[in-house]
Amino acid sequence: MSNKYDVIVIGAGPGGYVAAIRAAQLGLKTACVEKWTSDNGKVVLGGTCLNVGCIPSKALLESSHKYEEAKHDFDIHGISADDVEIDVPKMMGRKETIVKNLTGGVGMLFKANGVTSIHGTAKVLAGKKVEVTDNDGKVSSYEAENVIIATGSKPIEIPPAPITEVYIVDSTGALEFTEVPKRVGVIGAGVIGLELGSVWARLGSEVTVLEAQDTFLSAVDQQIAKEALKQFKKQGLDIRLKSMVQGTDVKRGLVNVQYKDAKGDQELKVDKLIVGVGRAPVTDGLLSPDSGINLDERGFIYVDDHCQTDVPGVYAIGDVVRGPMLAHKGSEEGVMVAERIAGQKTQVNYDIIPGVIYTHPELAWCGQNEEQLKADGVPYNVGIAPFAASGRAMATNATAGMVKILAHEETDRILGVHIIGPSASELIAQAVIAMEFGSSSEDLGLTMFAHPTLSESVHEAALAVSGHAIHVANRKKRK
């Protein structure tokens, strides 16, 4: 086998494997290096997302939501479900089956598209050479016309709460509990903390979330964030803002968490503590000193708008570069880079990357929020449609939340869409498509939506921007 390739991709997560497949489809001789190893020593594809991130967490969120519905919400439908129980090992087994099917599917796609899979830890050398060390310590060298770095990210560890094997865990460990803890503490009220906290709260744990910031979900439109905080508290999540963790210790099977809030020093005792304060790029040992590839001030690989590093022909994508750490962002960058290597002019629209929090209700958004528009002095109109006015939401017993659309006051072009409610993760795609084509709120308002659907709330919010809503009260006079 030749050690020369048109493209070598480092990392087989959502950015890397997509880049590798697309490059191969374009006729480029492509290899993908992955160091993740299964218990039997075989390469595991799919990266953090498929193995210990997006996919397993959503499997547990779905299982725990169904359990909560059966235990608390079936009665309203006239369904009796007494003595509902959760079989945690079986729930975990289902999660593992889903992970196995998807990661195995990536391997099949590699074979179908002619991507060579290389197992080992890669290091980028000068001259676009890639050195790979396998599990036995054997070193192999490869040459490439182009290198795509997609090494992803890892959980951030904090000194006050060092990770242990049993009691203090990161997001990966929180996906592996074998029974429902009585009390769970979570450090960080971001996406990771809220999703994992929700899983165990639904299954019966007393969940306390400690957040250092004084604003809940500061990156989210604050009208949406305030509604989310209200809903999460109703569900039993004890979210404590302005709570800075000072230290932890484990005694007699309990984690003692020392933290400081506005009232002074506090202590929290829990059975499990989840550290969910964010993620950091994986670059340890990745770059040789003479590689010519530079990191920015935050430790991310420096790239331009098209993901090229300071070395021509070397690219970096996904969590290891600037921007939100989202699987879909990495995938789109992977496609862009592969196509640009092949001579195409593909670009990624970074202005409308959708964000989602898969709690219940779900949160989803794209574009700018109201706080950003105010700060920038942009004139805008607002249209809001509560799900309480939706017949479909009533039928599904999911009326909490709203759709909020922000449009430019003068041009009516949609600037941002923010949703909290049922199927928000699916509904936001309508907004992304509309914004990609530069739509106005009037365009959405003139579009016919099926009835009865949750999507009608997007339609109603668009009508509300100009005061033409039919099924909700308008905030402004109609013209």
User: Do residues 367 and 418 share a domain?
Assistant: yes
Alpha-carbon span 452 to 304, nearest angstrom? 45
Last residue of a domain, one of 277, 303, 319: 277
pLDDT in tens, 410-446: 999 999 999 999 999 999 999 999 999 999 999 999 9
User: Do residues 189 and 309 share a domain?
Assistant: no
Residue 150 counted as domain residue = yes
Q: What CATH number is given to the structural domain containing 386?
A: 3.30.390.30
User: Do residues 420 and 338 share a domain?
Assistant: no
Contact 34, 44 (CB under 8 A): yes
User: Do residues 318 and 375 share a domain?
Assistant: no
As given in the structure block, the two tokens for residue 59 are 């499997």
Quote the pLDDT of residue 38. 85
Phi and psi at residue 45, in whole multiples of 5°? -95, 170
Q: What CATH number is given to the structural domain containing 249?
A: 3.50.50.60
Contact 168, 255 (CB under 8 A): yes
Instruction: Please identify every stretch of the chain with a pLDDT value under 50, giving residue numbers as ranges.
Output: none
Number of domains in the chain: 3
Q: In angstroms, how far is the first alpha carbon of the chain from the final one? A: 71
Residue whose C-alpha is closest to residue 103's, from 139, 56, 41: 56
Alpha-carbon span 159 to 161, nearest angstrom? 5
Residue 477 counted as domain residue = no
User: Do residues 296 and 440 share a domain?
Assistant: no
User: Do residues 9 and 140 share a domain?
Assistant: yes
User: Do residues 266 and 289 share a domain?
Assistant: no
Q: Which entry of 72, 77, 451, 468 is annotated as an active-site residue?
A: 451
Residue 160 counted as domain residue = no
User: Do residues 412 and 327 share a domain?
Assistant: no
User: Do residues 113 and 93 share a domain?
Assistant: yes
Query: What is the helix (H) or strand (E) element at residue 248, kind and residue range?
Result: strand 244-251
Average pLDDT of the chain is 96
Q: Which residues pair with 83 in a beta bridge?
A: none
**Is 2 buried (19+), middle (13-18) or exposed (0-12) by CB count in 10 A?**
exposed
65 is catalytic: no
Q: What angle do CA 217, 219, 222 make, to 5 degrees?
A: 65
Residue whose C-alpha is closest to residue 338's, from 21, 34, 10: 21
Quote the pLDDT of residue 165. 83
Q: Which residue has the tokens 């203090």?
A: 168
User: Do residues 342 and 366 share a domain?
Assistant: no
Q: How far is CA 332 from CA 107, 318, 369, 430, in A?
A: 20, 9, 23, 18
Quote the pLDDT of residue 475. 79
Q: Which residue has the tokens 């809503």?
A: 469
The domain in which residue 238 lies consists of 168-277
User: Do residues 61 and 145 share a domain?
Assistant: yes
Q: What pTM was computed for the model?
A: 0.96
**Amino acid letter, 230:** K
Residue 206 counted as domain residue = yes
List alpha helices for 41-132, DSSP H.
47-52, 54-68, 88-113
User: Do residues 453 and 306 share a domain?
Assistant: no
**HSE-up of 225 (CA within 13 Å, CB side)?**
16
